[in-house]
Chains A and B, each alone.
Chain A
Amino acid sequence: MNNVATLHATTAEAVSQTSFGVTEMLLGVSLLVSTGLLLVVLMLVLRRRASLMPEKAQEVILNAEERAHAIVAEASAEARHLRTEMEKERTKALNEDHQEVERFLDAYRYQLEKVIKELSYGVEKEHMRATSRFVESLQTIEERVSLNADEARHSMDSFTNQSGTLFERLAYEIENVEKGIQHLALALEEAAANESDKNAEIVREEMKKIGEQTAKSVLSVAKGLDKALQVNLEKEFSTISDELTKYREARMRLINERILVLIEETAQIALQKQLSLQDQADLVYRSLEEAKQRGVFV
């Protein structure tokens, strides 16, 4: 843009300088011719002075002056004509240059807009493609997470009701991972939107990088999540199995060791409320007889 303006100014200045030089030269030539003619007339007058009569000489001088004035006037008119023509040529050239500059600018703007549109379209297309891939990847991960969660839930439920607490903890962890991925997607989209306003080329390159990084990251997260789920499930199953074994052992131990206490306490409650005083007394006598038979009082 600056180059065009500079070119335009230089051309106009050159034209203007050229116009003044020719005009002055023409005026100078005209003056020289007039001066020469005047000198020639004066010499002729001076040579004939001796033979001419004063009236005749006066007439000749007047004629010569008139002719000289006419020549000067004609030269001046010619010079003005030339100057006018030069001005016209200069104006015409300036107009042509201006139009040329306008056309150049129009073409430049057109090309610029075209490039910008192409870039914008490309950026938007790239952005949409990257976003679409990212969303598809997220959906795939969510489906896999959901599927794994369902399978885990089904397995856990069928395995034992005692694993409910452990599965809730696992589901909570999966939910945290899903939230983290969603936050990552939102942050990525916002970053891409902001960048697109700054510089299309840079944004396109950045989006490409982000797309590649996102694909790697998502793949890594998916693998990690899958592995974590598998490990977690195996760990939970193992833990549940151990807990079930311990629970069974504890229950058997309880039955073997505490069953009598349970029955005893239950019977105590029932007997104390349901036995009459005479029944209680009879049981005391029965126990005293038992003690006597066992030799307690010997």
Chain B
Amino acid sequence: MLVKIISAMLDNTYTTDDLVERLGLMKKYYGKVLYSEGSTNTMDEIIGTECDDHTLQSLQVWVDSFKTNKIQPVAVYEALDAIQEELAGIPKVTLYTPVRFPPEHVERFGKWFRRNVQPNILMNMHVDPRATGGCGVVWDDTYHDYSLRYYIHKDRTRVVEMFNKYSNVEQ
């Protein structure tokens, strides 16, 4: 049961921050639905003011998936705390990008990692201008710089020759 719930959540969630946020919103939503008498409010009415449309749509996908997999809302609600604790066991990669990307790009990056690294991996995303021209990645507690700096050092000899050619400096 727990695995199914987590799998359904990870299907459209690729970052740790999004997952933590959505778990909180889901708890509030199910709390309202399950424990407020006579409540007929929709998700949008309950948590629509606390998140963007993309997040709201993603949460709606979760609910639909739970229904498809015949997972009762009560079971999901009671599993939320356990899922929060299980987050530590999910593989993670930290990605430094030079700019802040919108959700669709974040989703593509997540899919790339799940396709090329691990199928259920989560990303910790940070903005760092030093990652210009590429990105920085922390994997297994090691930082890997694949920014412009990496590419310049990679072609160091050619770059210096070109610089000296235009600056007329004798080496």
A binding-site residues for B, Cβ under 8 Å: 251-252, 255-256, 259-260, 263-264, 267-268, 271-272, 277, 280-281, 283-288, 290-292, 294, 296-297
Closest partner residue, chain B, to A261 (CB atom): B149
Main SS class of interface, A: helix
- B31 at interface, CB cutoff 8 A: no
User: Which size class do B's interface residues fall under?
Assistant: 35 or more
Is B116 close to A, CB under 8 A? Answer: yes
A260, chain B: closest CB distance, angstroms: 5
* The residue from A267, A291, A296 contacting B148, defined by CB atoms under 8 A apart: A267
State whether A290 touches B159 (Cβ < 8 A): no
Question: Does B133 interact with chain A (Cβ within 8 Å)?
Answer: yes
A-chain residues with CB within 8 Å of residue B126 when the two chains form the complex? none
Which residue of chain A has its CB nearest to the CB of B163? A259
Chain B positions within 8 Å of A, measured between CB atoms, are: 95, 97-99, 101-102, 105, 108-109, 112-113, 116-117, 129-130, 132-135, 137, 139, 144, 146-150, 152-153, 156, 159-160, 163-164, 167, 169, 171
> For A263, what are the chain B residues with a Cβ–Cβ distance below 8 Å?
152, 159, 163
Contact of B159 among A259, A285, A291, A296 (CB under 8 A): A259
Whether B105 lies near A267 (C-beta < 8 A) is: no
Chain A residue contacts of B146, Cβ below 8 A? 287-288, 290-291
Instruction: Using A268-B133, A287-B147 as known contacts, say yes or no to A281 and B159 having CB atoms under 8 A apart.
Output: no
Tell whether, in the assembled complex, residue B98 and residue A288 are in contact, meaning their CB atoms are under 8 Å apart. no
Shortest Cβ distance from residue A42 to the other chain B in the assembled complex, whole angstroms: 158
Residues of B within 8 A of A272 (CB): 98-99, 129, 132
- Shortest 3 CB-CB contacts between residues of A and residues of B: A287-B134, A287-B146, A268-B132
Known contacts A268-B132, A281-B101; decide if A288 and B163 are in contact (CB<8 Å). Answer: no
Q: Which residue of B lies closest to A281 (CB)?
A: B105
- Apart from A268-B148, A277-B99, A297-B116, list 16 A-B contacts with CB within 8 A: A255-B167, A259-B159, A259-B160, A260-B152, A267-B133, A268-B130, A271-B98, A271-B133, A280-B98, A284-B97, A287-B134, A287-B146, A288-B109, A291-B137, A291-B144, A292-B117
